[in-house]
Amino acid sequence: MRPGHLRDDRGSSTVLAVSLGAAALTLVAGLGLGAQAFLAHARADGAADLAAIAAADAARGITPGDPCEIAAETAERSGVEVTECIARPDLGTAKVVTEVDLPAPLGKVSATAVAGSPTGESR
């Protein structure tokens, strides 16, 4: 073995440690973005359900007001935007689509909910 050979390997563990640290940070960042997307979808889904129920109640005449305006107000309280609302007063039903913005690389997530009378009849 040459005496200078050990000097050539100096610093290689530092490069390995930095590489492993960078890989771990990338993994943690990816998991964080995935968790944000999951939570945003859950929020959009819950807000869509609540907005659809509120809109269906208005479509059935149980609560006063325009069904889609009520859906938008209900979703807004959850920090969610209604992108589509279809109310059918003749059937007492409502369909609501909500949308939540995600961090820059992910875009948006949406959810759809339909609600109406348990018996399918309007009031």
How confident is the model at residue 77, as a pLDDT?
Answer: 94
Domain presence at residue 3? no
* Model pTM score: 0.75
**Tell me, what's the pLDDT at 107?**
87
pLDDT of res. 122 = 52
Count of the separate structural domains present in the chain: 1
Nearest to 72 by CA among 91, 87, 61, 60: 87
32 part of a folded domain: yes
Mean pLDDT per 10-residue run, the chain (123 residues)?
Answer: 60 86 92 90 95 95 95 94 95 94 85 86 54
4 in a domain, yes or no? no
Residue-level pLDDT at 13: 85
Domain range enclosing 21: 9-116
Residue 2 lies in a domain: no
Per-residue tokens: 73: 């107000």
Q: Are 60 and 109 in contact (CB under 8 A)?
A: no
Enter the tokens of residue 94: 């409502």
CA diameter of the chain: 94
Distances (CA, A) of 68 to 13, 33, 101, 114, 116: 62, 32, 21, 13, 14
Which pLDDT score, from 0 to 100, does residue 14 have?
87
What is the residue type of 85? C
Amino acid 117: pLDDT:
81
Examine residue 75 and state whether it is found in any structural domain, yes or no. yes
Give residue for tokens 């659809």.
52
Identify whether 68 is part of a domain.
yes
Asked if the structure places residue 121 within a domain, the reply is: no
Residue 122 lies in a domain: no
